[in-house]
Amino acid sequence: MDVIEQEIGYYKSNRKDFIQLYAGKHLVIKGMEVIGVYKSNTEALEETMKLHETGTFIIEHPVDIKSR
């Protein structure tokens, strides 16, 4: 399993918690850690790219699909 797959797995296994903690925000996940929380996907990408190489992190937007 590569790093990106691990990050996706980490997000999926913690998705419910992330929805409660970060509703409406965009999370930057690197490894098995949330390294940033931002208002928009664009802000998350721009700010994270200042310190981390593209392709070394994922950005997720936890929302409760059932409530829509």
* Mean pLDDT for the stretch of residues 55-62: 95
Contacts of 26 (CB under 8 A, 6+ apart): 37, 38, 39, 40, 41, 43, 44, 59, 60, 61
Q: What is the pLDDT of residue 31?
A: 92
Across the beta sheet with 58-60, the strand order is: 33-38, 26-30, 58-60
Containing domain of residue 47, as a range? 3-67
Tokens of 32: 């098995």
Q: What digits encode the pLDDT tens for the residues 4-49?
A: 999 999 999 999 999 999 988 999 999 999 999 999 999 999 999 9
Confidence of residue 1 (pLDDT cuts 50, 70, 90): low
Total domain count, the chain: 1
Whether the Cβ atoms of residue 28 and residue 44 lie closer than 8 Å to each other: yes
State the CB neighbour count (10 A cutoff) for residue 32. 13
In this prediction the pTM is 0.89
